[in-house]
Amino acid sequence: MAMRGIGCFVVLIAVLSACSDSNAPQGRNPSGAQTAAVEQASGLPRILETFNVGKDVFVRALAVDSKNGALWVGTSLGVHEIDLATRAVRRTITREQGLANEYVFAILAERDGGVWFGTNGGGMTHLRDTQTRTYFPMHGLADYWVYAFARQSNGALWVGTWAGANRFEPDTGRFTTYLKELVNEWVYGIGVDSRDRVWFGTEGGVSMFDGKQWYAWTHDQGLGAPNNDKLPISTNTGLGTRSRHDLSVLADGSPTYNPNYVFCIHVDSRDRVWAGTWGGGASRFDGEGWNNLTTHDGLAGDVVFAITSDRYGNLWFGTDRGLSRYDGHAWQTFGKDQGMPGDNVYAVAATPDGEVWAGTRGGVARIGYGSAETGNGGQEGG
């Protein structure tokens, strides 16, 4: 099954083959055949397809558009709309189609068919059909660098930037900026729980707004596991362009430790809040305190870039050492040895039919059960 696309997941390879970009994917790679056969026989998911999208193309964001049956893939060279049924590339969005910057770090697909894109220095862009509108600080956006979106049930859109968080009212175009209220102004992840409380992952910990009051948690309150492996302490301010932030989470080739730095926030179906930390593993808030999962528990890597849940309740973690699946009891890891295009997994998304897409540097992967689709009965991990 061929796909066309620019640097993201299985979908992206399809996208790239349909484009003239020099970084177009080089082809599908059905690697890890022996491992896949064992996993299929055991009822575990396996890598179904992988696609090369160019060694210097990063896949930073993935979002499922259930209304249109599409997967949106955000890369360092633009964004692609992929047909989930055929995995054909429907279209590619770049500067020519309305993006102010082609490096896409965040995507939110709305129920009405509209899509939001957060970019690295180009503000945020809203796409509906073929029409785009971009918002900059001149319109009220807190910063040009946009890294997270989340929608409350009342319609408010929350936007995470490098200069605080915005609450945006699309109907009126009004922006409200929150800066001093946050534990740290550099916001990378946002999640909304069933009580409409908004959770923020920042470079300095986790903040929560319940509509009236603000709360905060840091490593001192249990966020991020202790540095039991004695990793080098990172003094890096964070992930981003080198003019403002250093991209590397490594020191001389080894992972570093900065447990207050949160790359992502995920609220699961049991209303538990998960935070992916830099070197402190995955942290889960149970309503009273934080519990941490690390490589000592089975997590692939302790730098956690992305977290999602699938339809069966399994949790998926994109880390610096591969993709981890956790069903609450057992772990399964997908890395280069299992056929992943790269070990640094920056983006993860789950589709309604139970498949999971993962984006890395240089490629994307589609993971599922093939013809023997099974689950764990809906028992969510942890």
Q: How far apart are alpha carbons 20 and 296 in whole angstroms? A: 45
Residue type, 47: I
Residue type, 310: D
Do residues 274 and 207 touch, judged by C-beta distance below 8 A? no
Side-chain-side CA neighbours of 248 within 13 Å: the count stands at 10
Q: pLDDT tier at 355 (50, 70, 90 boundaries)?
A: very high
Q: pTM of the prediction?
A: 0.86
| Residue 11, amino acid | V
Q: At which residue do the structure tokens 């249109």 appear?
A: 68
Here the tokens at position 255 are 């992972």
Question: What are 255-284's pLDDT values in tens digits?
Answer: 889 999 999 999 999 999 999 999 999 999
Distance CA 81, CA 84 (A): 9
CA distance 55 to 139: 36
Structure tokens at 18: 């349909």
Band of pLDDT at residue 20, cut at 50, 70 and 90: very low
Rounded Cα distance, 147 and 169, in Å = 18
DSSP state of 311: T
**Which residues are CB-neighbours of 145 under 8 A, at least 6 positions away?**
119, 120, 121, 161, 162, 163, 240, 244
Query: What pLDDT band is residue 370 in, cutting at 50, 70 and 90?
Result: confident
Residue at token pair 């740290």:
184
- How is residue 188 written in tokens? 């990378």
Q: Computed from CA positions of residues 11, 12, 17, 18, in that sequence, does the dihedral angle turn out positive or negative?
A: positive
Q: Which domains does the chain have, with CATH numbers?
A: 10-368 (2.130.10.10)
Which tops the pLDDT comparison, 173 or 274?
Answer: 274
Please state, for a pLDDT cut of 70, what percent of the chain lies above it: 81
The DSSP-derived string for 356-378 is EEEEEBTEEEEEE-TTS----TT
Give the tens place of pLDDT for each residue, 182-240. Answer: 999 999 999 999 999 999 999 999 999 999 999 999 999 999 999 998 888 887 655 55
Q: How confident is the model at residue 27 (pLDDT cuts 50, 70, 90)?
A: very low
Side-chain half-sphere exposure of 15, counting CA atoms within 13 A: 35
Q: Is the four-CA dihedral 31, 351, 266, 117 of positive or negative sign?
A: positive
Strands 174-178 vs 187-192: parallel, antiparallel or unpaired: unpaired
